[in-house]
Structure 1
Amino acid sequence: MDVLGPAPLLVASDVDGTLVDDDERISLRTHVALNAVQASGGHFVLATGRPPRAVDPIAAQLDFAPLAVCANGAVLYDTATSQVVSASLMSPELLDTVAELIRRYLPGAGFAAERVARGEHDSATPRFAASTGYQHAWLEPDTVAAADAEVLAHPAVKLLVRQPGMTSDEMSARIVPHLDGVADVTYATNNGLIEFHVPGVTKATGIRAAMEHLGLAADVRTAAFGDMPNDSEMLRWAGVGVAMANAHPVALDAANLVTATNLDDGVARVLERWF
């Protein structure tokens, strides 16, 4: 193999802006490349900011059921069984603490909490609770509207904060100096939406949990694909970190290789050189 080195045993990919096109479809070329990973004895893992319920339509396009690292590393989800394997939860106390910082440094922002249950399709558990001031960045049909106190009252895998009129870069720059390790913040869009997690939770930690679940040694060869700041830790951690040509500068800086855009089969173009 060329400068990429030997083929990885585990390949992880972000979804939006990386694996799928603007219609959330996996191209035929990428589909074939992912099948080649599996046929070689390798493992493919989805690694996304999406919650489990939003991963199912992506996994359904594949010929196999991958593990999915969801909510930026906070959730490990088995798409074969629709079961949450593990989750790192923000306590109500932590949610309250972060909310107070948001009110102070991002006044007027709206909150939303992403929650999970062991069985992801257990309809008795509200998945997405949003305050009345929260303006959705995308269609979220499962939303339960609630007062701030209710949004913050139950454990969540992430707290989403929306501030239209600001970029996510601007929001992050304003709040990060005041977090003092209380929580970590990242984002998958620059449209005024940032997401908070338990400290230390990233897509990289989620992939390590997936590897353990798969019985893989910690030192196996790995590759990861991504395009946004929430991919940066994963790109740095992987043996080969690949950023898309359409990536945010933070992701580009974290990668050691740049491929074509998500609309030009960027993931497949690299995988075809290995498999």
Structure 2
Amino acid sequence: MDRPKLVASDVDGTLLDPLENVTPRTIAAIDAVLTSGTPFVLVTGRPPRWVTPIARAARLSGYAVCSNGAAVVDLGADRVVSARDVDPVQLNDFTHALRRLLPDIRVAAERTPVHSDSTAVFATEPGFRNPWGNPAGTESGMDAENNEVPTAEVLGHPATKLLIRHRELSSGELARAAHSVLNGSGLEVTYSTDRGLIELSAAGVTKATGLAEVCELLGVPAGRVVAFGDMPNDVEMLRWSGHGVAMANAHEAVLAAADEVTAPNSEDGVAQVLERWF
């Protein structure tokens, strides 16, 4: 493709190196993109509160797509532009249906209030542990108990993302089980790690829909977007974009969906592609 008019990148396993840093080469590539006047958009499964340190390290202050497309934020204004929720009835129905099949699942909810709201932004039922070793979802690594509430409280409020964990299954196995009990609800099931965690969003919500919202705000057509990713939650975005790039370390579904495969995130794969144009 010609020089893209917008660059979109996943974060973990893609933009970040294996130590979760933005390397100097990648920062230089991002700076070159921004200097040209081209927007650089983070598109991630992370909730908004987990995006801020990455944006700071990458010197980004534009839009970001969070929670697998369910939330769009303006980084510079520290403002949630939009959020699409799963309603509590669907949260309860799906969770109880899956629990009948897999009694040992544990659930958590991410919430993204557009305006000020007293509801906690992250809630877990007792026993939920996320695979990243930071159950509270904060940079300070607070104990999980600070977020633990009864299951009814986890499922009793609209959520931008429902997280489901099973310690003995891979994420792929857990996703297949989830699909078997969706029963036409249309909820989107995906995952960004293969360590027994799946993530559910409202019907039709993917990284592609969140990125499309940003592109509409900026007046950029899909065909002029280059997008990078590595896990199943990136597949729709890579297919939607004019040029989808998978990392060499990507999941097989991502490799199959991409127009191109670049070097792994350990070798600045994103920067290697961007340096052709910028």
Distance 1:211 1:124, change over 3 A: same
| Partner AA of 2:125 in structure 1 | S
Task: Report whether the alignment pairs 1:135 with 2:139.
Answer: no
Matches of 1:180 and 1:95, distance apart in 2: 13
Deviation at 1:124, TM superposition (A): 4.3
Write the distance in 2 (CA, Å) between the matches of 1:195 and 1:219: 25
Provide, for residues 115-174 of structure 1, a one-character-per-residue CA deviation record: whole Å limited to 9, x for no partner. Answer: 11236xx69441110001312222033551011111000110010000001100111112
SS in 2 for 1:18: helix
List gaps (5 residues or longer) in structure 1.
none
Paired residue secondary structure (1:145): coil
Contact 2:207 2:234 in 1 (8 A): yes
The normalised TM-score by structure 1 is 0.93
C-alpha deviation, 1:217, in angstroms = 4.0
1:64 corresponds in structure 2 to: 60
1:48-197 equivalence runs, <5 A: 48-118=44-114, 124-138=118-132, 139-141=134-136, 142=138, 144-182=147-185, 183-197=187-201
Tell me the percent identity.
Answer: 49
Letter of the 1:223 counterpart = V
Deviation of 1:108 (Å): 1.2
2:244 is the counterpart of 1:249 = no
Unpaired segments ≥5 residues, structure 2: 139-145
Residues 178-257 of structure 1 correspond to what in structure 2 (within 5 A)?
Answer: 178-182=181-185, 183-214=187-218, 216-219=219-222, 221-257=224-260
The number of equivalent residue pairs is: 268
Root-mean-square deviation over aligned CA pairs: 1.5
Residue of structure 2 in register with 1:271 after alignment: 274
Answer with 16-25 or 153-162: which moved more.
16-25
In structure 1, how many angstroms separate the alpha carbons of the residues matched to 2:227 and 2:101?
A: 34
Distance 1:217 1:62 in 2: 22
Question: Counting helix residues as a fraction of each chain, which structure ranks higher?
Answer: 2
Change (3 A) 1:149 1:252: same
Change in 2 beyond 3 A, CA 1:253/1:219: closer
* Corresponding letter in the other structure for 1:202: T
Which of the numbers 15, 19, 37 marks the counterpart of 2:33?
37
Structure 2 counterpart of 1:64, one-letter code: L
- Do 1:105 and 1:175's aligned partners in 2 also have CA atoms closer than 8 Å? no
User: 1:217-237 CA distances to partner (integer Å, 9 max, x unpaired)?
Assistant: 435501100000000000111
With normalisation by structure 2, the TM-score equals 0.92
- Structure 1 residues 13 and 257: CA distance shift in structure 2, 3 A: same
CA contact 1:24–1:58 (8 Å) conserved in 2: no
Per-residue CA deviations over 1:13-63 (Å, capped at 9, x if unaligned) read: 000000001232111111111111111121110000000000000001123
CA–CA distance in structure 2, aligned partners of residues 43 and 132 of structure 1? 41
Task: Assess if the C-alpha contact under 8 Å between 1:181 and 1:199 holds in 2.
Answer: no
Is 1:223–1:240's contact at 8 Å kept on the other side of the alignment? yes
* CA contact 1:137–1:193 (8 Å) conserved in 2: yes
